[in-house]
Structure 1
Amino acid sequence: MWKSKVIHRIVRKIKLLIWKKYRLKIDKRDRKRLTDKIKTTSIISMNCTGGIISHNLGLQFLSPTVNLYMNAEDFMKFCENLKYYMSIEKMRECTDQNVIGGRDYPIAYLGDLTLYLVHYSSVEEAEKKWNERKQRINWDNIAIFNTDREGMTEELKDRFEKLPYRKVMFVNKPDKKHTSCFYLKGFEEEKSVGIITDPEGWKGMRPIDQFDYVNFLDGKDCI
Protein backbone atom coordinates (compact mmCIF):
# COMPACT_ATOMS: atom_id res chain seq x y z
CA MET A 1 0.00 0.00 0.00
CA TRP A 2 2.72 2.49 0.95
CA LYS A 3 4.56 1.82 -2.31
CA SER A 4 1.40 2.62 -4.24
CA LYS A 5 1.02 5.92 -2.36
CA VAL A 6 4.66 6.86 -3.01
CA ILE A 7 4.32 6.09 -6.71
CA HIS A 8 1.10 8.15 -6.84
CA ARG A 9 2.85 11.14 -5.24
CA ILE A 10 5.80 10.87 -7.65
CA VAL A 11 3.48 10.68 -10.68
CA ARG A 12 1.53 13.64 -9.34
CA LYS A 13 4.70 15.74 -9.00
CA ILE A 14 5.81 14.85 -12.51
CA LYS A 15 2.36 15.74 -13.85
CA LEU A 16 2.47 19.10 -12.08
CA LEU A 17 5.83 19.91 -13.66
CA ILE A 18 4.55 18.99 -17.11
CA TRP A 19 1.30 20.91 -16.55
CA LYS A 20 3.26 24.00 -15.54
CA LYS A 21 5.45 23.76 -18.63
CA TYR A 22 2.48 23.54 -20.99
CA ARG A 23 0.53 26.24 -19.12
CA LEU A 24 3.40 28.68 -19.36
CA LYS A 25 3.65 28.00 -23.09
CA ILE A 26 -0.08 28.53 -23.62
CA ASP A 27 -0.18 31.66 -21.47
CA LYS A 28 2.81 33.13 -23.30
CA ARG A 29 1.02 32.55 -26.62
CA ASP A 30 -2.23 34.07 -25.33
CA ARG A 31 -0.51 37.12 -23.84
CA LYS A 32 0.78 37.98 -27.31
CA ARG A 33 -2.86 38.22 -28.41
CA LEU A 34 -3.80 40.84 -25.81
CA THR A 35 -5.31 44.10 -27.02
CA ASP A 36 -6.10 47.34 -25.23
CA LYS A 37 -9.73 46.25 -25.06
CA ILE A 38 -8.80 43.06 -23.23
CA LYS A 39 -6.43 44.85 -20.86
CA THR A 40 -9.20 47.22 -19.77
CA THR A 41 -11.97 44.62 -19.36
CA SER A 42 -13.54 44.20 -15.93
CA ILE A 43 -14.33 40.51 -15.52
CA ILE A 44 -17.34 39.82 -13.31
CA SER A 45 -17.21 36.15 -12.40
CA MET A 46 -19.50 33.82 -10.46
CA ASN A 47 -16.47 31.97 -9.08
CA CYS A 48 -12.68 31.83 -9.37
CA THR A 49 -12.71 31.41 -13.15
CA GLY A 50 -12.34 35.13 -13.84
CA GLY A 51 -9.45 35.53 -11.45
CA ILE A 52 -7.62 32.51 -12.87
CA ILE A 53 -8.05 33.75 -16.44
CA SER A 54 -6.78 37.21 -15.42
CA HIS A 55 -3.77 35.58 -13.77
CA ASN A 56 -3.06 33.44 -16.85
CA LEU A 57 -3.14 36.51 -19.07
CA GLY A 58 -1.16 38.71 -16.69
CA LEU A 59 -4.05 41.15 -16.29
CA GLN A 60 -4.70 43.41 -13.33
CA PHE A 61 -7.82 42.51 -11.34
CA LEU A 62 -10.29 45.16 -12.51
CA SER A 63 -13.14 43.58 -10.56
CA PRO A 64 -13.61 42.42 -6.96
CA THR A 65 -15.05 39.00 -7.85
CA VAL A 66 -11.76 37.22 -7.20
CA ASN A 67 -11.03 34.24 -4.92
CA LEU A 68 -14.68 33.71 -3.99
CA TYR A 69 -17.96 32.40 -5.33
CA MET A 70 -21.71 33.02 -5.07
CA ASN A 71 -24.67 30.75 -5.62
CA ALA A 72 -26.56 31.14 -8.89
CA GLU A 73 -29.47 33.19 -7.52
CA ASP A 74 -27.21 35.63 -5.67
CA PHE A 75 -24.89 36.04 -8.64
CA MET A 76 -27.83 36.88 -10.85
CA LYS A 77 -29.07 39.53 -8.39
CA PHE A 78 -25.54 40.87 -8.22
CA CYS A 79 -25.22 41.19 -12.01
CA GLU A 80 -28.66 42.78 -12.31
CA ASN A 81 -27.75 45.42 -9.72
CA LEU A 82 -23.98 45.84 -10.01
CA LYS A 83 -23.78 49.51 -9.05
CA TYR A 84 -25.97 49.00 -5.99
CA TYR A 85 -23.90 46.13 -4.62
CA MET A 86 -20.66 47.92 -5.45
CA SER A 87 -21.87 50.82 -3.32
CA ILE A 88 -21.92 48.64 -0.18
CA GLU A 89 -18.74 49.17 1.83
CA LYS A 90 -19.08 46.67 4.65
CA MET A 91 -19.30 42.89 4.74
CA ARG A 92 -20.89 41.04 7.65
CA GLU A 93 -19.39 37.78 8.79
CA CYS A 94 -21.68 34.76 8.62
CA THR A 95 -21.88 32.84 11.91
CA ASP A 96 -24.83 30.65 10.97
CA GLN A 97 -23.68 27.05 11.32
CA ASN A 98 -26.39 25.91 8.92
CA VAL A 99 -24.69 28.00 6.23
CA ILE A 100 -21.12 27.31 7.30
CA GLY A 101 -21.51 23.55 7.53
CA GLY A 102 -18.12 21.87 7.14
CA ARG A 103 -16.49 24.74 5.29
CA ASP A 104 -13.12 25.88 6.64
CA TYR A 105 -13.08 29.27 4.94
CA PRO A 106 -14.91 32.48 5.91
CA ILE A 107 -18.36 33.37 4.61
CA ALA A 108 -19.71 36.91 4.49
CA TYR A 109 -22.85 38.84 3.61
CA LEU A 110 -22.76 41.76 1.20
CA GLY A 111 -26.20 43.23 1.69
CA ASP A 112 -28.50 40.27 1.05
CA LEU A 113 -25.86 38.32 -0.92
CA THR A 114 -23.78 35.48 0.50
CA LEU A 115 -20.09 35.46 -0.48
CA TYR A 116 -18.12 32.25 -0.03
CA LEU A 117 -14.59 33.54 0.54
CA VAL A 118 -12.75 30.39 -0.49
CA HIS A 119 -9.27 31.87 -0.84
CA TYR A 120 -9.30 34.46 1.96
CA SER A 121 -8.15 34.00 5.51
CA SER A 122 -10.71 36.40 6.99
CA VAL A 123 -13.72 38.55 6.16
CA GLU A 124 -11.62 41.63 6.92
CA GLU A 125 -9.05 40.66 4.29
CA ALA A 126 -11.77 39.96 1.72
CA GLU A 127 -13.54 43.25 2.45
CA LYS A 128 -10.31 45.23 2.03
CA LYS A 129 -9.51 43.58 -1.32
CA TRP A 130 -13.11 43.87 -2.50
CA ASN A 131 -13.22 47.63 -1.84
CA GLU A 132 -9.81 48.17 -3.47
CA ARG A 133 -10.65 46.24 -6.63
CA LYS A 134 -14.13 47.61 -7.15
CA GLN A 135 -12.60 51.08 -7.58
CA ARG A 136 -10.91 49.77 -10.76
CA ILE A 137 -14.09 48.68 -12.52
CA ASN A 138 -14.34 49.90 -16.10
CA TRP A 139 -18.08 50.41 -16.39
CA ASP A 140 -17.78 50.81 -20.15
CA ASN A 141 -16.08 47.43 -20.63
CA ILE A 142 -17.57 44.61 -18.56
CA ALA A 143 -17.57 40.88 -19.33
CA ILE A 144 -19.43 38.31 -17.24
CA PHE A 145 -18.40 34.68 -16.71
CA ASN A 146 -21.08 32.37 -15.32
CA THR A 147 -21.65 28.61 -15.05
CA ASP A 148 -24.60 26.28 -14.58
CA ARG A 149 -23.32 25.36 -11.09
CA GLU A 150 -24.58 26.36 -7.65
CA GLY A 151 -28.31 26.01 -8.27
CA MET A 152 -28.66 27.36 -11.79
CA THR A 153 -32.22 27.14 -13.18
CA GLU A 154 -33.98 27.83 -16.48
CA GLU A 155 -35.51 30.96 -14.99
CA LEU A 156 -32.10 32.26 -13.98
CA LYS A 157 -30.76 31.50 -17.45
CA ASP A 158 -33.61 33.58 -18.90
CA ARG A 159 -32.64 36.47 -16.63
CA PHE A 160 -28.99 36.07 -17.57
CA GLU A 161 -29.87 36.53 -21.24
CA LYS A 162 -31.35 39.95 -20.46
CA LEU A 163 -28.20 41.37 -18.85
CA PRO A 164 -26.84 44.35 -20.84
CA TYR A 165 -23.25 43.11 -20.79
CA ARG A 166 -20.96 40.86 -22.79
CA LYS A 167 -21.53 37.49 -21.15
CA VAL A 168 -21.06 33.74 -21.28
CA MET A 169 -22.44 30.86 -19.21
CA PHE A 170 -20.61 27.53 -19.31
CA VAL A 171 -23.01 24.58 -19.36
CA ASN A 172 -22.66 20.79 -19.35
CA LYS A 173 -25.02 20.18 -22.28
CA PRO A 174 -25.93 22.07 -25.47
CA ASP A 175 -28.49 24.82 -24.83
CA LYS A 176 -29.88 26.33 -28.03
CA LYS A 177 -32.53 28.31 -26.15
CA HIS A 178 -30.04 30.53 -24.35
CA THR A 179 -27.61 32.14 -26.78
CA SER A 180 -25.10 33.09 -24.09
CA CYS A 181 -24.53 29.45 -23.10
CA PHE A 182 -21.33 27.69 -24.15
CA TYR A 183 -21.28 23.90 -23.97
CA LEU A 184 -18.16 22.48 -22.35
CA LYS A 185 -17.68 18.83 -23.23
CA GLY A 186 -16.90 16.27 -20.55
CA PHE A 187 -19.63 16.88 -17.98
CA GLU A 188 -22.61 15.32 -19.77
CA GLU A 189 -23.20 12.75 -17.03
CA GLU A 190 -23.11 15.39 -14.30
CA LYS A 191 -25.78 17.83 -13.13
CA SER A 192 -23.60 20.77 -14.15
CA VAL A 193 -20.08 21.58 -15.22
CA GLY A 194 -17.39 20.83 -12.67
CA ILE A 195 -14.39 22.96 -11.77
CA ILE A 196 -13.61 24.20 -15.25
CA THR A 197 -10.14 25.50 -14.44
CA ASP A 198 -8.76 22.18 -13.16
CA PRO A 199 -6.07 20.66 -15.43
CA GLU A 200 -6.69 17.25 -16.98
CA GLY A 201 -4.37 14.73 -18.61
CA TRP A 202 -0.63 15.03 -19.01
CA LYS A 203 -0.73 18.29 -20.95
CA GLY A 204 -2.83 19.96 -18.27
CA MET A 205 -5.54 21.22 -20.60
CA ARG A 206 -8.61 22.48 -18.75
CA PRO A 207 -12.30 22.41 -19.67
CA ILE A 208 -12.23 26.22 -19.95
CA ASP A 209 -9.61 25.87 -22.69
CA GLN A 210 -12.35 24.63 -25.03
CA PHE A 211 -13.48 28.27 -25.08
CA ASP A 212 -11.42 31.04 -26.70
CA TYR A 213 -11.65 33.46 -23.79
CA VAL A 214 -9.05 35.76 -25.35
CA ASN A 215 -11.30 36.42 -28.34
CA PHE A 216 -14.31 36.70 -26.05
CA LEU A 217 -12.64 39.38 -23.94
CA ASP A 218 -11.70 41.16 -27.17
CA GLY A 219 -15.38 41.42 -28.06
CA LYS A 220 -15.39 38.74 -30.74
CA ASP A 221 -18.24 36.23 -31.13
CA CYS A 222 -17.11 32.94 -29.56
CA ILE A 223 -20.47 31.38 -28.67
Structure 2
Amino acid sequence: MIRRLEVFLNRKIRVNFKNYYQRQDVQKLENKNFVLISRNCWGGQVYQWLNLPYNTPFVGLFLFGPCYMKLLSNFDEYMNMNLQFREVSKYPDAYNNHPIGLLGDIEIHFQHYKTKQEAKSKWNRRKARMLKYDKSNYFFSICDRRGVTNSDIEEFHKLKYKNKISFSFNKIPSLTNLQHIKFIQDLSKKKGAPPNGRKRFKLTFLYFDLVHYLNTGNVLRTRFKQ
Protein backbone atom coordinates (compact mmCIF):
# COMPACT_ATOMS: atom_id res chain seq x y z
CA MET A 1 0.00 0.00 0.00
CA ILE A 2 2.87 2.39 0.83
CA ARG A 3 4.53 1.81 -2.54
CA ARG A 4 1.23 2.32 -4.34
CA LEU A 5 0.87 5.64 -2.53
CA GLU A 6 4.41 6.59 -3.56
CA VAL A 7 3.58 5.88 -7.20
CA PHE A 8 0.43 7.97 -6.95
CA LEU A 9 2.26 10.94 -5.39
CA ASN A 10 5.12 10.80 -7.88
CA ARG A 11 2.58 10.76 -10.71
CA LYS A 12 1.06 13.94 -9.30
CA ILE A 13 4.46 15.63 -9.16
CA ARG A 14 5.09 14.72 -12.80
CA VAL A 15 1.72 16.16 -13.80
CA ASN A 16 2.20 19.42 -11.91
CA PHE A 17 5.69 20.01 -13.32
CA LYS A 18 5.04 18.49 -16.74
CA ASN A 19 6.47 21.41 -18.76
CA TYR A 20 9.73 21.40 -16.81
CA TYR A 21 10.28 17.67 -17.21
CA GLN A 22 9.38 17.79 -20.89
CA ARG A 23 11.86 20.60 -21.64
CA GLN A 24 14.57 18.65 -19.84
CA ASP A 25 13.91 15.51 -21.89
CA VAL A 26 13.82 17.37 -25.22
CA GLN A 27 17.17 18.98 -24.41
CA LYS A 28 18.77 15.68 -23.36
CA LEU A 29 17.64 13.74 -26.43
CA GLU A 30 20.47 13.13 -28.90
CA ASN A 31 19.00 10.31 -30.98
CA LYS A 32 16.19 12.02 -32.87
CA ASN A 33 15.84 9.42 -35.64
CA PHE A 34 14.63 6.48 -33.58
CA VAL A 35 11.76 4.30 -34.79
CA LEU A 36 9.25 2.96 -32.26
CA ILE A 37 7.32 -0.22 -32.96
CA SER A 38 4.53 -0.29 -30.40
CA ARG A 39 1.27 -2.23 -30.36
CA ASN A 40 -0.68 0.68 -28.89
CA CYS A 41 -0.57 4.44 -28.23
CA TRP A 42 2.51 4.26 -26.00
CA GLY A 43 4.79 4.92 -28.99
CA GLY A 44 2.83 7.88 -30.27
CA GLN A 45 2.93 9.44 -26.80
CA VAL A 46 6.73 9.22 -26.82
CA TYR A 47 6.98 11.17 -30.08
CA GLN A 48 4.54 13.79 -28.83
CA TRP A 49 6.40 14.18 -25.55
CA LEU A 50 9.68 14.78 -27.37
CA ASN A 51 8.14 17.08 -30.02
CA LEU A 52 9.23 14.83 -32.89
CA PRO A 53 7.56 13.75 -36.14
CA TYR A 54 6.25 10.20 -36.24
CA ASN A 55 9.03 8.02 -37.69
CA THR A 56 6.72 5.03 -37.48
CA PRO A 57 3.35 3.96 -38.88
CA PHE A 58 2.44 2.45 -35.49
CA VAL A 59 0.61 5.53 -34.22
CA GLY A 60 -3.04 5.93 -33.22
CA LEU A 61 -3.71 2.20 -33.51
CA PHE A 62 -3.49 -1.11 -31.68
CA LEU A 63 -2.96 -4.79 -32.40
CA PHE A 64 -4.30 -7.74 -30.48
CA GLY A 65 -1.64 -9.93 -28.91
CA PRO A 66 -1.66 -12.86 -31.39
CA CYS A 67 -1.43 -10.52 -34.40
CA TYR A 68 1.33 -8.44 -32.84
CA MET A 69 3.45 -11.49 -32.03
CA LYS A 70 2.97 -12.85 -35.55
CA LEU A 71 3.93 -9.47 -37.00
CA LEU A 72 7.12 -9.30 -34.93
CA SER A 73 8.09 -12.86 -35.84
CA ASN A 74 8.23 -11.91 -39.53
CA PHE A 75 8.40 -8.14 -39.43
CA ASP A 76 10.06 -7.37 -42.78
CA GLU A 77 7.73 -9.61 -44.77
CA TYR A 78 4.58 -8.14 -43.26
CA MET A 79 5.80 -4.56 -43.61
CA ASN A 80 6.32 -5.13 -47.33
CA MET A 81 2.63 -6.01 -47.79
CA ASN A 82 0.05 -3.53 -49.02
CA LEU A 83 -2.48 -2.42 -46.44
CA GLN A 84 -5.99 -3.74 -47.07
CA PHE A 85 -9.13 -3.47 -44.95
CA ARG A 86 -11.94 -5.59 -43.57
CA GLU A 87 -15.27 -4.59 -42.07
CA VAL A 88 -15.49 -6.97 -39.11
CA SER A 89 -12.65 -8.10 -36.85
CA LYS A 90 -11.83 -11.74 -36.31
CA TYR A 91 -11.65 -11.02 -32.58
CA PRO A 92 -15.08 -11.47 -30.86
CA ASP A 93 -14.43 -8.76 -28.26
CA ALA A 94 -13.26 -6.14 -30.78
CA TYR A 95 -15.15 -2.97 -31.58
CA ASN A 96 -15.86 -2.56 -35.28
CA ASN A 97 -16.42 1.20 -35.21
CA HIS A 98 -13.05 2.16 -36.70
CA PRO A 99 -11.02 1.15 -39.78
CA ILE A 100 -9.57 -2.35 -39.46
CA GLY A 101 -6.48 -2.81 -41.57
CA LEU A 102 -4.99 -6.04 -42.87
CA LEU A 103 -1.40 -6.99 -43.66
CA GLY A 104 -1.97 -10.52 -44.89
CA ASP A 105 -3.55 -12.21 -41.85
CA ILE A 106 -2.52 -9.45 -39.42
CA GLU A 107 -5.23 -7.09 -38.17
CA ILE A 108 -4.39 -3.48 -37.36
CA HIS A 109 -7.05 -1.51 -35.53
CA PHE A 110 -6.88 2.17 -36.46
CA GLN A 111 -8.91 3.30 -33.48
CA HIS A 112 -8.01 7.01 -33.78
CA TYR A 113 -8.78 7.33 -37.51
CA LYS A 114 -12.14 8.24 -39.00
CA THR A 115 -11.80 6.68 -42.46
CA LYS A 116 -9.92 3.95 -44.30
CA GLN A 117 -8.48 6.59 -46.62
CA GLU A 118 -7.01 8.57 -43.73
CA ALA A 119 -5.60 5.43 -42.11
CA LYS A 120 -4.01 4.16 -45.33
CA SER A 121 -2.55 7.56 -46.29
CA LYS A 122 -0.88 8.09 -42.93
CA TRP A 123 0.24 4.46 -42.67
CA ASN A 124 1.99 4.58 -46.06
CA ARG A 125 3.56 7.98 -45.48
CA ARG A 126 4.93 7.06 -42.08
CA LYS A 127 6.03 3.61 -43.22
CA ALA A 128 8.08 5.24 -45.98
CA ARG A 129 9.67 7.51 -43.37
CA MET A 130 10.42 4.52 -41.12
CA LEU A 131 12.11 2.56 -43.90
CA LYS A 132 14.69 5.30 -44.36
CA TYR A 133 16.26 4.47 -41.00
CA ASP A 134 18.61 1.68 -40.06
CA LYS A 135 17.02 -1.17 -38.11
CA SER A 136 19.65 -0.80 -35.40
CA ASN A 137 17.69 2.32 -34.41
CA TYR A 138 14.35 0.52 -34.14
CA PHE A 139 12.90 0.14 -30.63
CA PHE A 140 10.28 -2.54 -30.01
CA SER A 141 7.84 -2.57 -27.10
CA ILE A 142 5.04 -4.79 -25.79
CA CYS A 143 2.61 -4.69 -22.88
CA ASP A 144 0.08 -6.98 -21.21
CA ARG A 145 -3.16 -5.82 -22.81
CA ARG A 146 -5.62 -7.06 -25.45
CA GLY A 147 -4.61 -10.69 -25.48
CA VAL A 148 -0.90 -10.32 -24.76
CA THR A 149 0.00 -13.12 -22.33
CA ASN A 150 2.98 -13.63 -20.04
CA SER A 151 4.18 -16.26 -22.52
CA ASP A 152 4.01 -13.70 -25.33
CA ILE A 153 6.19 -11.32 -23.34
CA GLU A 154 8.67 -14.12 -22.67
CA GLU A 155 8.78 -14.94 -26.39
CA PHE A 156 9.12 -11.23 -27.21
CA HIS A 157 12.41 -11.11 -25.30
CA LYS A 158 13.72 -14.05 -27.32
CA LEU A 159 13.26 -12.19 -30.61
CA LYS A 160 16.50 -11.08 -32.21
CA TYR A 161 15.92 -7.36 -32.06
CA LYS A 162 18.55 -5.08 -30.60
CA ASN A 163 16.27 -2.79 -28.59
CA LYS A 164 13.32 -4.29 -26.71
CA ILE A 165 11.29 -3.30 -23.69
CA SER A 166 8.19 -4.83 -22.11
CA PHE A 167 5.66 -3.67 -19.55
CA SER A 168 3.33 -5.67 -17.34
CA PHE A 169 1.36 -5.41 -14.11
CA ASN A 170 1.96 -9.08 -13.34
CA LYS A 171 5.26 -10.44 -12.19
CA ILE A 172 6.83 -12.78 -14.74
CA PRO A 173 9.36 -14.85 -12.76
CA SER A 174 11.38 -15.89 -15.79
CA LEU A 175 12.13 -12.27 -16.72
CA THR A 176 14.75 -10.70 -14.50
CA ASN A 177 16.45 -8.51 -17.10
CA LEU A 178 16.30 -4.73 -17.07
CA GLN A 179 14.30 -4.70 -20.30
CA HIS A 180 11.17 -5.90 -18.50
CA ILE A 181 9.31 -3.30 -16.43
CA LYS A 182 6.79 -4.50 -13.87
CA PHE A 183 4.48 -1.67 -12.92
CA ILE A 184 3.14 -1.23 -9.42
CA GLN A 185 -0.63 -0.79 -9.32
CA ASP A 186 -1.09 2.79 -8.19
CA LEU A 187 -4.11 4.20 -6.41
CA SER A 188 -5.52 5.70 -9.61
CA LYS A 189 -5.71 2.35 -11.40
CA LYS A 190 -9.26 1.13 -11.87
CA LYS A 191 -10.17 -2.52 -11.66
CA GLY A 192 -10.46 -4.41 -14.92
CA ALA A 193 -8.21 -4.32 -17.98
CA PRO A 194 -4.65 -2.95 -17.61
CA PRO A 195 -4.24 0.74 -18.54
CA ASN A 196 -4.08 1.70 -22.20
CA GLY A 197 -0.98 3.04 -23.94
CA ARG A 198 -1.59 6.68 -23.01
CA LYS A 199 -1.97 5.96 -19.31
CA ARG A 200 0.93 3.54 -19.36
CA PHE A 201 3.15 6.19 -20.92
CA LYS A 202 2.51 8.45 -17.92
CA LEU A 203 3.86 5.71 -15.65
CA THR A 204 6.97 5.15 -17.76
CA PHE A 205 9.07 7.86 -16.13
CA LEU A 206 8.63 6.38 -12.68
CA TYR A 207 10.47 3.23 -13.72
CA PHE A 208 13.18 4.01 -16.25
CA ASP A 209 14.92 6.91 -17.97
CA LEU A 210 13.20 7.06 -21.36
CA VAL A 211 15.64 9.49 -22.99
CA HIS A 212 18.67 7.51 -21.78
CA TYR A 213 17.09 4.41 -23.33
CA LEU A 214 16.56 6.13 -26.69
CA ASN A 215 20.05 7.63 -26.67
CA THR A 216 21.93 4.46 -25.71
CA GLY A 217 19.61 1.47 -26.05
CA ASN A 218 20.26 0.70 -22.36
CA VAL A 219 17.58 0.67 -19.68
CA LEU A 220 18.49 2.82 -16.68
CA ARG A 221 16.06 2.19 -13.84
CA THR A 222 14.77 5.14 -11.85
CA ARG A 223 12.72 5.40 -8.65
CA PHE A 224 10.63 2.24 -8.67
CA LYS A 225 12.27 -1.11 -9.33
CA GLN A 226 10.89 -4.62 -9.43
**Aligning the two structures, in what range does the TM-score lie when normalised by the shorter sequence?**
0.7 to 0.9
1:54, distance to aligned residue in structure 2 (A): 0.7
Q: Percent identity?
A: 25
Query: Could you tell me which residue of structure 2 aligns to residue 55 of structure 1?
Result: 48
Query: Could you tell me which residue of structure 2 aligns to residue 194 of structure 1?
Result: 195
- C-alpha RMSD over aligned residues: 2.7
Q: Which segment drifts farther, 190-199 or 60-69?
A: 190-199
Equivalent-residue separation in structure 2 for 1:74 and 1:83 (angstroms): 15
Q: Is the 8 A contact 2:89 2:100 kept in 1?
A: no
Distance 1:98 1:183, change over 3 A: closer
Of the three residues 101, 104, 111, the one matched with 1:108 is 101
Query: Could you tell me which residue of structure 1 aligns to residue 26 of structure 2?
Result: 31
Q: Is the 8 A contact 1:170 1:193 kept in 2?
A: no
Query: Could you tell me which residue of structure 2 aligns to residue 156 of structure 1?
Result: 152
Query: Could you tell me which residue of structure 2 aligns to residue 85 of structure 1?
Result: 78
Of the three residues 196, 202, 207, the one matched with 1:206 is 202
- Match of 2:180, as an amino acid? C
Q: Which segment drifts farther, 106-115 or 26-35?
A: 106-115
Q: Secondary structure at the match of 2:165?
A: strand
Of the three residues 93, 99, 114, the one matched with 1:121 is 114
Q: TM-score with structure 1 length normalisation?
A: 0.78
Q: Which segment drifts farther, 209-218 or 184-193?
A: 184-193
Query: Could you tell me which residue of structure 2 aligns to residue 217 of structure 1?
Result: 214
Query: Could you tell me which residue of structure 2 aligns to residue 9 of structure 1?
Result: none
Q: Which runs of 4+ in 1 moved over 4 A?
A: 96-103, 187-192
Equivalent-residue separation in structure 1 for 2:84 and 2:167 (angstroms): 29
Over residues 123-174 of structure 1, what are the superposed CA-to-partner deviations in whole Å (9 max), with x where a residue is unaligned? 2211111111111222231101210111122331232011222111111033
Unaligned stretches of 5+ residues in structure 2: 1-13, 222-226
Q: Secondary structure at the match of 1:92?
A: strand
1:28, distance to aligned residue in structure 2 (A): 0.9
Equivalent-residue separation in structure 1 for 2:126 and 2:190 (angstroms): 37
Query: Could you tell me which residue of structure 2 aligns to residue 14 of structure 1?
Result: none
Q: TM-score with structure 2 length normalisation?
A: 0.77
Structure number with greater Rg is 1
Equivalent-residue separation in structure 1 for 2:92 and 2:151 (angstroms): 24
Q: Secondary structure at the match of 2:46?
A: helix
Q: Secondary structure at the match of 2:198?
A: coil
Equivalent-residue separation in structure 1 for 2:100 and 2:136 (angstroms): 30
1:168-183 equivalences in 2 (<5 Å): 168-178=165-175, 179=177, 180-183=179-182
Unaligned stretches of 5+ residues in structure 1: 1-17, 200-204
1:70, distance to aligned residue in structure 2 (A): 0.2
- Match of 2:205, as an amino acid? D
Residues paired across the two proteins, number: 198
Distance 1:192 1:170, change over 3 A: farther
Q: Is the 8 A contact 2:35 2:138 kept in 1?
A: yes
Distance 1:95 1:102, change over 3 A: closer
Q: Is the 8 A contact 2:25 2:211 kept in 1?
A: yes
Equivalent-residue separation in structure 2 for 1:70 and 1:97 (angstroms): 12
